[in-house]
Chains A and B, each alone.
Chain A
Amino acid sequence: MKKSVRKPVLAVGPFHPLQEEMEFFQLTVDGEIVTDIDVRISYNHRGIEKISESLQFDQVPFLVSRICGICSASHPLAYVQAVEEIAGVTIPDRARYVRTIIAEFERIHSHLLWAGLAGHFIGYDTVFMWAWKYREPVLDLLEEITGNRNNYGNVRVGGCREDIPDELIPKILVELDQIEKKTEMLTKAVLDDPVLHARLKGVGTLKRQDAISYAVTGPTARGSGVAIDVRADEPYAAYADLDWNVISQPEGDVFAKAVVRLLEVLEAVKIIRQALKKLPDGPVVIEVKEIPPGEGVGRAEAPRGETFHYVRSDGGNRPVRHKARAPSYVNVPSFKASCIGQHIADVTITLAAVDPCYSCTERLAVVDGNKVVFDYDALLKLSRRKTAELRKDAGVPELLKMEDL
């Protein structure tokens, strides 16, 4: 009699303190190798597009800034650009620069946040504490400029709500020096660490062809050799006026994506410095009285990738239709391609490499009936144990050599 082999299903999620969002990925495994994934998302569905239709054009930025806490600048930016396209409005030059500076600060703190979480997933808790410590000054600066550590509310149709006071600029430059120094240190430590090479190279690889079929964007794409970046492809804000590079790596594995993000932090510092130096005088907003009938598209490069907003107006004071697409909406499904064939110890870090802004999309949890074979804690332990074993093999006595906290 043929014995039927029941393929166990793994639950990843839904509630773990360091996996901030609720998420259910249904992983089917054969032994310890992932063979299939299904994803069900609805825990975070708040019905934002419908709410937009009941808000006035100028209220929507506050709504979309809360689609996701870490893409808080890019969603309103993409949205107002779509509306400005309908209205045919050109915003003041100073506004373009202020938008750029806030967006790049967001990129810095988001990528450092990611580095911390990734470190935690593989057992480098020093990196977690360190990266989140050096995020704090960035949040403080954003609070000084906009009034909030997150949810800046700084972008509006026609420009910006808050200006960057000139008196603040010297302080910003000092902080940028510090961020640059610390990130260079972290980048070097990552590039030099043999255990990280062994742990992350060849892991969770997203092949270039899959990157294209799944239409991924951001570091998920750039880490697989698809060098797309809205800031370069359809420059918005002040990006066309500044000198900077699109960072991309061909290998497609978790290591490549980590390198892309760290180098992007350094690039962001470069961009902010130039923007502050070239900051034009003048107002930061132009009044826009009416939005005529029409449709518009706005795009911004969020830390996770391309944020895309489509807005349709019928000449009234509310959007008739507003489509908000977060980058994670296309990046998270690609987890299917990068995770199948992986060992379960690598599942958490492979997912993390996509940097799912969990509330941008949603995450799912999986239960096979009521049976959980490995819960999230167990998967995390497997991941960290793998690192510990590699460290032992390499004869490396301690974690990354970095300054003490």
Chain B
Amino acid sequence: MSWKIWSLKKSVWVFHVNTGACNNCDIEVVDLLTPRFDVERFGIKLVGSPRHADALLVTGGVTAQAAPRLREIYRQTPKPCVVFCIGACACDKGIFTTGYHMVGPVDKIIKEIDPDAIIAYVPGCPPKPEAMISGVVKALSTL
């Protein structure tokens, strides 16, 4: 196991990206920081810049306006990194699948620039914070 992957599994710094989400998933992501879930005790930390991130928590089904920004953020995130598709929209556009302004989902946009990207899916509308933690832990343990 490479040194990078080992340290990623020990403590994961995540950057949250909203690509056109309704806020539900995003609020539940922020909820992870609050006393009931308190993910910082697991070493999961929310950082303010993709350049410091090991993983991206991406919400939203990717609107036309957000797609270039998502690609840019992915480029800026040092590799290896894991892209977590949080919520039904990120996994497969959810209920907005026929929307004219939707160009996602997330994996389609990411794979356009990196076909070998590591992508994990946490479905739900929104996924409960427990589901997000479980998803992150499961994905990292398979690396």
- Residues of A participating in the B interface, judged by any CB pair closer than 8 Å: 14-18, 20-22, 42-48, 50-51, 54, 62-63, 66-70, 72, 113, 128-129, 132-133, 136, 148-151, 357-359, 377, 405
Contact = CB atoms under 8 A, between A and B. Distances in A.
B102 interface: yes
B138 interface: no
B30 A17 contact: yes
Interface residues of B, number: 42
B17 A15 contact: yes
Contacts of B60: 44
Given A17-B15, A51-B96, 10 more contacts: A15-B73, A17-B29, A17-B47, A21-B21, A43-B63, A46-B102, A47-B96, A67-B22, A358-B23, A377-B48
Interface in B46-71: 46-48, 60-61, 63-66, 69
Interface string B21-57: 1111111111100111000000000111000000000
Contacts of A70: 23-24, 27
Contacts of A44: 20-22, 60, 63
Contacts of B4: none
Contact of B35 (A48, A67, A133): A133
Nearest to B66: A43
A358 B66 CA distance: 14
A113 B24 CA distance: 12
A48 B99 contact: yes
A40 to B, nearest CB: 9
A44 B22 CA distance: 8
Given A20-B23, A21-B18, A45-B20, A62 B35 contact: no
B101 interface: yes
Contacts of A132: 30-31, 34-35
Contacts of A358: 23
19 contacts: A15-B18, A20-B27, A21-B26, A22-B66, A42-B63, A42-B64, A42-B101, A43-B18, A44-B20, A44-B63, A46-B20, A46-B101, A47-B102, A51-B95, A69-B24, A69-B27, A70-B23, A132-B35, A133-B36
A51 B98 contact: yes
Contacts of B24: 66, 69-70, 72, 150-151
Contacts of B34: 128-129, 132-133, 136
Contacts of A405: 35
A66 B95 contact: yes
Name the residue among B23, B48, B65, B69 with the largest chain A CB count within 10 angstroms. Answer: B23
B99 A66 contact: no
B35 A69 contact: no
A22 B21 CA distance: 9
Nearest to A358: B23
Contacts of B61: 46
B94 A66 contact: yes
B26 to A, nearest CB: 4
Nearest to B100: A47
Counting chain A CB atoms within 10 Å of each CB, the highest count among B27, B48, B64, B73 belongs to B27
A69 B95 contact: no
A20 B20 contact: no
Given A69-B26, A72-B24, A151 B125 contact: yes
B96 A46 contact: yes
Contacts of A18: 30
B22 A69 contact: yes
Contacts of A377: 48
